[in-house]
Amino acid sequence: MNDAAFAGRTDVAALNRINKLSPRAVGAGMIGNVLEWYDFGLYGYLASIIGQHFFPSANPVASLIGAYGGFAIGFAVRPIGGAVFGHLGDRIGRQPVLIISVVMMGVATTLIGLLPTYQQIGIWAPILLLVIRLFQGFSVGGEFTGSVSYLVETAPPHRRGLAGSFANIGSTGGYLLAAGMAAITVMLSEAHPELPWIWRVPFIAGGFLAMLAYWMRSRLKHTGYEPGPIDPEEHELPLKQAFGEAPRQMILAMVFTWGYGVADYLTLVFLPIYADRFGMIDEGQALTVNTFSQIAALIAVPLAGWLTDHAIRRRSMLILAFGLIFFTAVGLFELSEGPALMHFAVAQVAFAVFLGMIMGTAPAMLAELFPSHFRLSGYSLAFNIGLGIGGGTAPLIATALIGLTGSNIAAPAYLMLGCPMSIGALWLMRDRSRQPLR
């Protein structure tokens, strides 16, 4: 172990002797995820409106595929952002990464709200939209993993699960805010067709959220892992160290998060659109139910994190959650089609609780896999390849499979394919939930 790695690890060890979580650290870790997932959730929830403005087509499925293509492209670039921000976080510390990522995301989110539509500038509208999505995906690549690493590193050993869960409390809060804003936007758009610009307001509002995130993160006192002086003779890239020292952990983390991403985006982002397009539920009502269902997820996330600190090991909690999704996927998707809104509500809340169990447990589980001196590089790349690509393409693939097969069962079938991937990876993964943070 070189001196730089040792210096960084001792800093983490000192912070871990703190007996309670820092409210300022928790708030700063959460706020960026509120912004990041507010935007990504908003794009997914408003996919049908975005499709109409930027990917016009006489075929509504084709228009939706175009919009979800933009959704997927934003995720495709996440591994690159994860590699860049991971390197910066391991080389210069966590705080700069946390600040840069929210500034980039805030600018990109505001630009979507100001972008001319296809009707106004033709083919340049979807091209510019896709460029902005690439910019957003790059910033997200370092945000979530950076905040999780920061939260876990600044938490006492017996509260790492709870601390890590706050990143997903932030992301769930962002989804909740996005779902609420989307529901209001859809209803206002339907009630006031003379206001075609109303869809822009939620994106522009994201810029103000970014300002708050920047202010909070620039005032951090405890900044998590900070590397010591770099020995020129041992100037090995953190990402190279990750593949060299922990190749098994990298592969397992990628496989696990691929299934995690499929579950995440099919059950929370795609389901309301599915119920509207392929079922008998009004989109505005579906988004309203989705908003309330995320309150259930918001309760499940910290509860799961706390339980894995005190009662159940993290791996066991995760296997249980994926098993529940696997065995209920077909039944809950069929239930979500209606005809009664209550049918959709039951399906959405059940999925939200199951996913909340995963979201409350996975952050600490993954952060604990890697040692401090290459934690952010290894975690970021593995997470963004798995969840970013697997999750980002899930709505697109599910929609395409329905179009190809002509059967709605294709969507839950794809969800069921993702669950065994995660369960298998977890079974082979080492659970460090009761061990000192390296």
Q: Please report whether residue 358 resides in a domain.
A: yes
Distance of alpha carbon 301 from alpha carbon 305, whole angstroms: 6
DSSP string, 109-160: HHHHHH---HHHHTTHHHHHHHHHHHHHHHHHHHHHHHHHHHHHHTS-GGGH
In Å, how far are 35, 234, 312, 426 from 169, measured between CA atoms? 12, 38, 20, 22
Is residue 259 domain-resident?
yes
Supply the pLDDT for residue 15.
45
Which pLDDT tens digit goes with each residue over 194-248?
777 888 888 888 888 888 888 888 777 666 666 665 554 456 777 777 777 878 8
- Tell me if 233 is assigned to some domain: no
Query: Could you tell me what percent of the chain has a pLDDT over 70?
Result: 87
Which pLDDT score is estimated for 421?
93
Query: Would 178 be classed as within a structural domain?
Result: yes
Position 255 scores a pLDDT of 94
Residue 310 burial by CB count (10 A; 0-12/13-18/19+): exposed, middle or buried? exposed
* Residue 228, domain member (yes or no): no
Any domain includes 3: no
Closest CA to 148 of 85, 212, 105, 219: 85
Return the SS3 of 219.
coil
What is the total residue count of the chain? Answer: 438
> Number of folded domains in the chain?
1
Q: Would you state the pLDDT for residue 4?
A: 41
Domain that holds residue 331: 11-223+238-428
- Decide: pTM greater than 0.85: no
Q: Give tens-digit pLDDT for 298-349.
A: 899 999 999 998 889 999 999 999 999 999 999 999 998 878 889 999 999 9
Residue of 70 and 163 predicted with greater confidence: 163
The whole-number average pLDDT for the span 258-264 is 92
- For residue range 164-181, what is the model confidence (pLDDT) as tens digits? 888 888 887 887 788 788
The reply to whether 30 falls in a domain is: yes
**Three-state SS letters, 161-179:** HHHHHHHHHHHHHHHHHHH
Mean pLDDT of the chain: 81
Q: What is the distance between the alpha carbons of residues 146 and 135, in angstroms, rounded to a whole number?
A: 17
More confident residue, 93 or 21: 93
How large is the average pLDDT for residues 92-98? 80
Output the pLDDT for position 370.
Answer: 86
Q: Is residue 410 domain-resident?
A: yes
CATH of the domain at 207: 1.20.1250.20
d(CA 160, CA 174): 22
